Chain A
């Protein structure tokens, strides 16, 4: 699947396009199929998100997993500070990144 991501303009937080708006949770990322460029152009023009871009990802029973480790680190948070990640109580989350 193709999903869109960027950083929120105000907070800088990592966000994912959920089909309507931008979500903090990668599992809510929508498959944009061949609409990536169109949505990116529109969202860049709206100036709510910094440098959004399209990436490849996979979806299975556990949710959406970006193809590249860099985007998985973005999705979760710094692996060396589990307390500051999106899943502070889930030790398995680090395995998901690697």
Chain B
């Protein structure tokens, strides 16, 4: 894992001191809310329905045990004993007091964490593949590049006031586990003729106007990565629509200019930047890379054979583990989606436990998935049963990865001031319904995603089944969408028709999933069947 050098630490410490002074001035009545709001947002402090909310950055979703323990301590000391892991691989605390916010930032700084650039029109936390550095199918570990971009984008003066927020994702395999093409910039590290480079996908996003990013450059040499990213940002900063908030994201610019015209502008800017000294020295990338070297994996042994005699354990292994590049190891997914539970929430005790289990079984490392689960990336197969037993006892062993119960749900109207409708109760009802009727197993892979408003933090456009909460004359109403994907076959879901009540949409999901079961051919997932038979039969089943 990356460790702060003196510059990183000095910057973060200075920011804590600065914010402490700003918060005190606000508490003393010397700053108005209008003056203070942009300052607190620069430090991830929002005001939500019930209290202040603090969003803490988890760079590319990677955490050490020590950091996870610190997050748990914050939940206990300053919040109400829990935190919420988000679709941006971050964590949010819902019950923060302004009086204590600077103390929390100081506690975070002690474990090399912060909340800088988790809000505002700047480059946000860089996201990545949660199996990075572990997956058997990647060409390299994408995190050194994500870290390089983190350093480049942190406090970058030119990009502190972009037309809108900006999200970058870096992956390094053909399997997309990070919704790469739904980011402002999605970068895939690729190998071509024995050389490594980066493919740039620019102008994707969800929200009000969902778009899949087109590839604007299929190969940028890695020693030009930062220059090319800078060129992409510069063109956006110059031409992005600052006059209209709803047209200010880069996806609108790329769409309106056309991908080819945008790419041409970027190429010109890139050529101009090449002799400007923008690219960090190669030695810096090499230095960063040393932090991401493989841990000392044990040689494969005879006890790597998994004992499948316990059927519950065998089911969890089948569903919640992922192939590892090292023989004898897997990546294990800790589900934060217990049946009827709140997606992404973890108590302080659960966080402490996950941190301890990562120390004992995963070289001190954890990852946050954008699907609001946690990964222990490097688990020896011979340790899996011990790990599963401990997880299961703590309510963290639900075997439902990528199943209908593994629902992404944003905080919605239970917490979020922008929401139109509640997301979480819906997720709870759906997960309970499909556990009770026993269909989860039969349905296989089915990704269901719920947002409480058009901002799409719950990725509803990218769900095999998506749900969008809307306000219909003061009551909650839910639109149903079908056919989305955020994997390598990225597609955008389409609305089925008129919306439903809360209970109505749960029934509607059972209707569409039943139609899938009766229509599928051998080996088809829900999304495959939808793509084969189209929307019409689903509409007929729903609306008659």
Contact = CB atoms under 8 A, between A and B. Distances in A.
B424 A80 contact: yes
B419 A70 contact: yes
A41 interface: no
A67 B473 CA distance: 11
Contact of A79 (B26, B27, B417, B425): B425
B362 interface: no
B50 A11 contact: no
A40 B424 CA distance: 33
Interface stretch (B92-100, B201-209, B504-512): B92-100
Contacts of A68: 474
B32 A47 contact: yes
B413 A80 contact: no
Interface in B423-456: 424-425, 428
Interface residues of B, number: 30
Interface in B402-419: 413-415, 417, 419
Nearest to B474: A68
B80 interface: yes
Given A10-B98, A11-B99, A14-B50, A78 B26 contact: no
Contacts of A50: 33, 47
B415 A78 contact: yes
Interface string A1-41: 00000010111111000000000000000000000000000
A9 B415 CA distance: 18
B414 A69 contact: no
A79 B428 CA distance: 12
Nearest to B33: A50
A10 B417 CA distance: 18
Contacts of B476: 69, 98
B422 interface: yes
Given A73-B49, A80-B424, A9 B27 contact: yes
A11 B32 contact: no
Given A51-B33, A79-B425, A70 B413 contact: yes
Interface string A71-98: 0011001111100100000000000001
B51 interface: yes
B51 to A, nearest CB: 4
A79 B423 CA distance: 11
A54 to B, nearest CB: 17
A55 to B, nearest CB: 12
A70 B51 contact: no
A12 B32 contact: no
Interface in B75-131: 80, 94-99
Contact of A9 (B95, B98, B425): B98
Given A12-B96, A70-B419, A78 B474 contact: no
A67 B471 CA distance: 13
Contacts of B96: 12
A22 to B, nearest CB: 15
Contacts of B51: 7, 11-13
Which of A12, A44, A50 counts the most chain B CB atoms within 10 A?
A12
Contact of B97 (A12, A46, A77, A98): A12
B500 interface: no
Interface of B: 26-27, 29, 32-33, 47, 49-52, 80, 94-99, 342, 413-415, 417, 419, 422, 424-425, 428, 474-476
25 contacts: A9-B98, A10-B98, A10-B99, A11-B51, A12-B52, A12-B95, A13-B50, A13-B51, A44-B32, A44-B33, A47-B32, A50-B33, A50-B47, A69-B413, A69-B474, A70-B413, A70-B417, A73-B49, A74-B50, A78-B414, A78-B415, A79-B425, A80-B428, A81-B342, A81-B414
Given A46-B29, A51-B33, 6 more contacts: A12-B47, A44-B32, A70-B413, A73-B414, A78-B50, A79-B414
